[in-house]
């Protein structure tokens, strides 16, 4: 079993005192930044990239593991105490988690989220270690057309299944592809979309892109539309879990893991679907479904576990195929590229120790989080008391600093502002950001495979569907899309969320406001109308 052997070796590396300290620093810094409202794991890693410029790759990746899980933990803390999830994976957690906090059970909600994340993360990381070498064995036999098929799957699923509107997801992805074209063509050396600007020859720096879309876009959005100057932080009260809470949590943890991991492994990105599936499943299995939406502990335990298992699952396509299927995985890929490490099936062979210590560090970071953060959560909550103006000014400072440090020129800062406006517009008009980032990072890789496949076949397009693997992939893809949209048409996510009273009232009017003006009929059944408008889009 090469996987377990490698993992053991990874643990040896991860448990070296120096590396433990890096993991510790990573988890602390990751939590520190991730707990800030509106900052998800992808932005946290992108913002903290400059910190790792001065350490060697293996230490950097051990830190990343800590930052990654720290940021996820911080995200669920804000989701529960503040109801500002900051990333799609925590949206579901915010529903019942925030209700629990309001009922004075905030500590219980945080505990079931933290322990659930630990359980799910640990199991899922072990599964990564088990599956990775096995998938690499298959991956090395794949040709360029097979890779292209996998990437097409990633493109379409990430854009069409994430967010509420598939069309907007696809537009976001296409804009990302357009951004990825900027620079010098890898094969011919011709300039594309550079408009004669010298700094654009190297293309648009991915870190700048991510920081701009998430941090600056967020800043503009909040500045322009904030309706309160303070965060409404729930009092952090109550006790950790009692016997009853444990009894109600452990099954959702395991079921969440079972849902989250496989959906992370297949290149069908997004933590939105697994968390939502876990929530619906728990609601269906519960003896008290009426509690959901009003502070059911299962509604926090399941989705949190699913979210974490999903995050670990996305490591499989990333480490074995070099295909990122979430914004966070995309940032990690960028980190690999910055150290000159080639991702793909050869990664385990060429950089085995590094990969295994990364995987082992994920487990270690998870354990550190549990031991450290459960007692320290009061401290993180204090961070939320930083006045909003200073918090956002600080985020902006780190964003421009990151952009400046990445390229050492003000050109990247200018680019940051332009792309920040794009990030604002996407938020304002409902375009999901992750498809753009996945498009921008996966685009060039897909183009290489595409042109390689055609070059080998002398330009015959039939080569793209010439292997059994591609038939299987495209066939499954077609099936999945038909099934997803057929299923979505009936109980839409919106229906379920409205049913549990989870959709903020602010959301319902924004959808209705338009039809009520233009189509008077919407007045009669506004909710159903809103739901239908939703499913019609699909």
Judged by CB under 8 A, the chain residues 492 through 531 that form the site for other proteins are 504, 506-507, 510-511, 513-515, 517-519
- Among 235, 353, 375, 389, the residue binding other proteins under the rule CB under 8 A is 389
Number of residues engaging other proteins in binding (CB under 8 A): 98
Q: How far is the CB of 203 from other proteins (least distance, A)?
A: 13
Candidate ranges 186-194, 308-316, 349-357, 362-370; the one touching other proteins (CB under 8 A): 186-194
Tell me the C-alpha distance between 189 and 179, whole Å.
17
- Cα 507 from Cα 235, distance rounded (Å): 25
Least spacing, CB of residue 93 vs other proteins, in Å? 12
Among 235, 353, 375, 414, binds other proteins (CB under 8 A): 414
Q: Which member of 3, 38, 121, 345 binds other proteins (CB under 8 A)? A: 38
Q: Does 319 bind other proteins (CB under 8 A)?
A: no
Structure tokens given for 41? 């794991």
To other proteins, the closest distance from the beta carbon of 201 in angstroms equals 13
Least separation in angstroms between residue 268's CB and other proteins is: 20
The reply to whether 181 sits near other proteins by the rule CB under 8 A is yes
Instruction: List CB contacts of 536: < 8 A, sequence separation 6 or more.
Output: none
From 105-113, 240-248, 353-361, 442-450, give the range in contact with other proteins by CB under 8 A: 442-450
Residues 6+ apart with CB under 8 A from 396: 215, 216, 219
Q: Which of residues 54-73 bind other proteins (CB under 8 A)?
A: 54
Phi-psi region for residue 142, left (φ > 0), alpha (ψ -120 to 50) or beta?
beta
Residue selected from 16, 141, 397, 476 as contacting other proteins according to rule CB under 8 A: 397
Is 255 or 427 the residue whose CB approaches other proteins more closely?
427
**What is the rounded CA–CA span in Å between residue 291 and residue 246?**
17
**Considering beta carbons, is residue 23 or 511 the nearer one to other proteins?**
511
Residues 76-105 that bind other proteins (CB under 8 A): 82-88, 91
Minimum CB–partner distance for residue 521 and other proteins (Å): 12
Closest C-alpha among 282, 299, 361, 337 to residue 62: 361
Contact by Cβ (8 Å): 315, 268: no
| Distance (Å) of CA 126 to CA 120, 122, 511 | 10, 6, 43
Task: State which residue, 316 or 391, has the beta carbon closest to other proteins.
Answer: 391
Per CB under 8 A, the segment of 110-118, 363-371, 451-459, 477-485 that binds other proteins is 451-459
Per-residue x/- track, 454-493, other proteins (CB under 8 A): xxxxxx----------------------------------
Choose which of 46, 111, 177, 311 interacts with other proteins (CB under 8 A): 177
Minimum CB distance to other proteins, residue 157 (Å): 17
According to CB under 8 A, which one of 20, 103, 178, 477 is a site residue for other proteins? 178
396 and 216 Cβ atoms separated by less than 8 Å: yes
Q: How far is the CB of 517 from other proteins (least distance, A)?
A: 6
Outline where 384-520 has alpha helix (H).
388-407, 410-428, 434-456, 468-489, 493-499, 507-518
Cβ closer to other proteins: 240 or 339? 339
**Contacting other proteins (CB under 8 A), which of 141, 187, 346, 350?**
187
Contact (Cβ atoms closer than 8 angstroms) between residue 415 and residue 403? yes
Pairwise CA distance, residues 498 & 508, whole Å: 9
8 A C-beta contact, residue 70 and residue 365: yes
Residue closer to other proteins (CB basis): 128 or 233: 233
| CB-facing half-sphere around the CA of 296: CA atoms within 13 A | 24
Mutual angle of helices 327-338 and 434-456, in 10-degree steps:
60
Piece in contact with other proteins (CB under 8 A), picked from 117-125, 188-196, 276-284, 309-317: 188-196
Only one of the segments 65-73, 160-168, 473-481, 485-493 lies at the binding site for other proteins (rule: CB under 8 A); that segment is 160-168
| SS3 annotation, 454-488 | HHHCCCCHHHHHCCHHHHHHHHHHHHHHHHHHHHH
Shortest gap between Cβ of 24 and other proteins (angstroms)? 18
Produce one character per residue of 308-323: b if its CB has 16 or more CB atoms within 10 Å, e if not.
bbbbbbbbbbbbbbbb
Residues in 191-250 that interact with other proteins by CB under 8 A: 192-193, 216, 218-232
Residue 192's beta-bridge partner residues? 183
Residue 196: count other Cβ atoms within 10 Å of its Cβ: 7
């Amino acid at each position: 079993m090469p996987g377990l052997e490698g993992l053991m070796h990874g643990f040896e590396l991860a448990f070296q005192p120096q590396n433990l300290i890096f993991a510790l620093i990573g988890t602390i810094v990751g939590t520190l930044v991730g707990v800030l409202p509106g900052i998800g794991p992808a932005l946290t890693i992108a913002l903290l990239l400059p910190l790792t410029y001065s350490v060697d790759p293996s230490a950097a990746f051990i830190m990343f593991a800590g930052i990654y899980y720290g940021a996820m933990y911080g995200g669920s803390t804000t989701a529960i105490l503040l109801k500002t999830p900051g990333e799609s994976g925590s949206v579901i957690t915010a529903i019942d988690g925030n209700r629990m906090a309001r009922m004075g059970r905030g500590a219980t909600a945080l505990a079931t989220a933290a322990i659930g994340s630990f359980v799910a993360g640990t199991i899922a990381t072990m599964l990564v270690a088990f599956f990775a070498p096995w998938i690499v064995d298959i991956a090395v036999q794949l040709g360029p057309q097979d890779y292209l098929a996998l990437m097409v799957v990633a493109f379409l699923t990430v854009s069409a299944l994430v967010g509420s509107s598939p069309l907007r997801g696809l537009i976001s992805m296409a804009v990302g592809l357009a951004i990825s074209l900027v620079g010098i063509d890898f094969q011919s050396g011709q300039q594309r979309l550079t408009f004669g600007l010298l700094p654009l020859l190297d293309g648009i720096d991915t870190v700048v892109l991510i920081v701009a879309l998430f941090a600056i876009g967020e800043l503009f959005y909040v500045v322009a539309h904030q309706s309160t100057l303070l965060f409404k932080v729930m009092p952090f009260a109550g006790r950790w879990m009692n016997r009853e809470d444990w009894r109600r949590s452990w099954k959702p943890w395991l079921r969440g893991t079972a849902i989250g991991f496989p959906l992370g492994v297949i290149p069908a990105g997004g933590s939105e679907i697994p968390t939502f599936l876990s929530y619906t499943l728990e609601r269906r299995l519960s003896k008290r479904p009426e509690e959901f939406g009003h502070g059911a502990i299962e509604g926090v335990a399941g989705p949190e576990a699913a979210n974490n298992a999903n995050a670990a699952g996305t490591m499989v396509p990333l480490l074995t195929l070099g295909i990122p299927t979430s914004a966070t995985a995309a940032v990690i890929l960028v980190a690999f590229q910055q150290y000159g490490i080639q991702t793909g099936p050869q990664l385990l062979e060429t950089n085995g120790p590094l990969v295994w210590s990364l995987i082992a560090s994920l487990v270690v970071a998870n354990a550190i989080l549990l031991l450290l953060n459960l007692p320290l959560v009061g401290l993180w909550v204090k961070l939320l008391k930083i006045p909003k103006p200073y918090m956002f000014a600080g985020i902006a400072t780190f964003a421009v600093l990151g952009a400046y440090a990445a390229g050492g020129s003000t050109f990247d800062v200018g680019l940051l502002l332009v792309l920040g406006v794009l990030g604002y517009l996407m938020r304002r008009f409902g375009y999901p950001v992750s498809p753009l980032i996945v498009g921008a990072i996966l685009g060039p890789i897909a183009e290489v495979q595409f042109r390689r496949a055609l070059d080998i076949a002398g330009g015959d397009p039939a080569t793209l569907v010439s292997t059994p693997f591609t038939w299987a992939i495209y066939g499954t893809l077609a099936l999945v899309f038909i099934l997803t949209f057929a299923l979505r048409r009936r109980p839409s996510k919106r229906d379920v969320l409205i049913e549990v009273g989870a959709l903020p009232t602010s959301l319902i009017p924004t959808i209705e406001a338009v039809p009520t003006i233009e189509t008077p009929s919407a007045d009669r059944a506004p909710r159903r109308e809103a739901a239908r408008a939703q499913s019609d889009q699909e």
